[in-house]
Amino acid sequence: MKFSKRSNQGITLIALIITVIVMLILAGVAINMVIGDNGIFKKSDEGAKIYKNAANNESTSLNSVDKEMGDLMEQLQNSEDPMKIVDIVREFGLPTARSEGFVRWWVLTADGKIKLGKSYPGNIFDKLEMDSEVQIEGLPNGNIAHIVGNGETVIALDKEGKVYTFGANDVGQLGNGTTVDSDVAICISDTGELKGKAIKEVFIDTIGTVMAIDKEGKLYIWGAIRNDYSSNVPICMSNEEEMLQDKNIEKILFYEYNTYVVKDNRGKIYVGHGDEVVDLDTIINSQLPTLQGKKITDFKQRLILDSEGKVYEGKGDEVICMSDISPLQGKNVVDIHFLFESISDGLSIVRDEEGMVYTWGDNRYGQLGNGTVGDGSDVPICINDIEDSEIYNKKVDSVITGESGYSNYYICIVGKDTYIYMYSPK
């Protein structure tokens, strides 16, 4: 039987697509990304049809076919695993289940659903066990974009940008105009400053300070705003603070003890304390000569990241380049976290572009993740190199940190092999 050159090309390309599918499966691609409605099988079938049509239609140009296939491959690359971890918070309103030996967590996945998670505390990162979905009255489970919490209050954001709050409300952190606690999620986007606003980011700290940014770049705050002042309804900081009035705020970097740090869409960083807001460059030029000339991209309490992937830490009156210290030396850091435990203690966690995670600082609860408890470390430790850890020699996609009560912090490590690792100091 004879085949035309055109048909041979079609068959060869279809065979190539099948080979790619097999390789993806062997590489550990999640099964729902392979067989789902928008999965690899369906996309490859569409690809096969494109080339079949090309083989039977001489007027179809190869360039046109290549473009269609390119579009399909781009869709595949951008397809998100619905079980990918987006956020994780301590389960609200229940004890830590110490008597049962584990801690409960609410885990938000990319499909917009919140699942119950369990971890077993220890001084080496343990695998997080995923359980059933969590149904919270008033919360549109299946349509959630983000959740944040502090162990007593949870703030949720749906995919349309509406804000839901529930839990403790002693300083007005629910933002509904009262100081009454609620076990039912309350939508606070239908009234007041947030009415008609699509929120893209929310944040809450240990003492009940809540911040949010809308899609127009305006910044809002409520709850414990200062030690002597709180608000039970959202206040638009972009209208209140002259420095922020014409700024398009893009990211909340951190809030701690009446001080907040935010970044705008031009990469400019602003520091607010009390009634004063200044840009970070002004502080650097007057007080931090080590950082002069550096383009700062992130700022977490004592940690600073520049555009070259170098990490700096403030220690007393000094700023030290931690990227000059092995094993962090020469690494391109892309993500930084700092868990502030006290004026003298804290934990630094950074991730480089190769998926390696480094920790240093306090270790009273084993939070360094190196298998020891007690002595801290002034130099970075690569926890991917700890042989007894489940993340030994495994790359990490992302790091999620948070607070689940006073002096109670957690670190969630999301691996490229889809495993989740958790350590909670308490």
Number of domains in the chain: 3
Please give the residue range of the domain that contains residue 13: 5-78
pLDDT at 252 over 90: yes
pLDDT at 162 over 70: yes
Asked which of 240, 266, 287 is the last residue of a domain, the reply is: 287
Cα–Cα distance between 332 and 319 in angstroms, integer?
19
Place of tokens 């494109």: 50
Q: Are strands 269-273 and 259-264 parallel, antiparallel or unpaired?
A: antiparallel
Residue 120 lies in a domain: no
pLDDT at 122: 66
Give the mean model confidence (pLDDT) for residues 58-67.
Answer: 55
Residue 111 lies in a domain: no
pLDDT (tens digit, 9 = 90+) per residue, 274-302? 778 999 999 999 989 999 999 999 999 89
Residues 270 and 315 in one domain: no
Give the mean model confidence (pLDDT) for residues 161-182.
Answer: 97
Residues in Cβ contact with 396 at an 8 Å cutoff, skipping those fewer than 6 apart: 351, 355, 356, 357, 384, 413, 414, 415, 416
Cα–Cα distance between 147 and 165 in angstroms, integer?
10
Asked which of 287, 309, 338 is the last residue of a domain, the reply is: 287
Confidence of residue 95 (pLDDT cuts 50, 70, 90): very low
pLDDT (tens digit, 9 = 90+) per residue, 120-134? 766 677 778 888 899
Residues 212 and 341 in one domain: no
Cα–Cα distance between 418 and 101 in angstroms, integer?
24
pTM for the model: 0.80
Residue 92 lies in a domain: no
Residues 142 and 277 in one domain: yes
Residues 193 and 273 in one domain: yes
Residues 139 and 269 in one domain: yes
pLDDT (tens digit, 9 = 90+) per residue, 315-374? 877 899 999 999 999 999 999 999 876 666 789 999 999 999 999 998 888 888 888 888
Residues 142 and 67 in one domain: no
Residues 268 and 325 in one domain: no
pLDDT (tens digit, 9 = 90+) per residue, 357-379? 999 998 888 888 888 888 899 99
Question: Which CATH number goes with the domain that contains 214?
Answer: 2.130.10.30
Residues 269 and 216 in one domain: yes
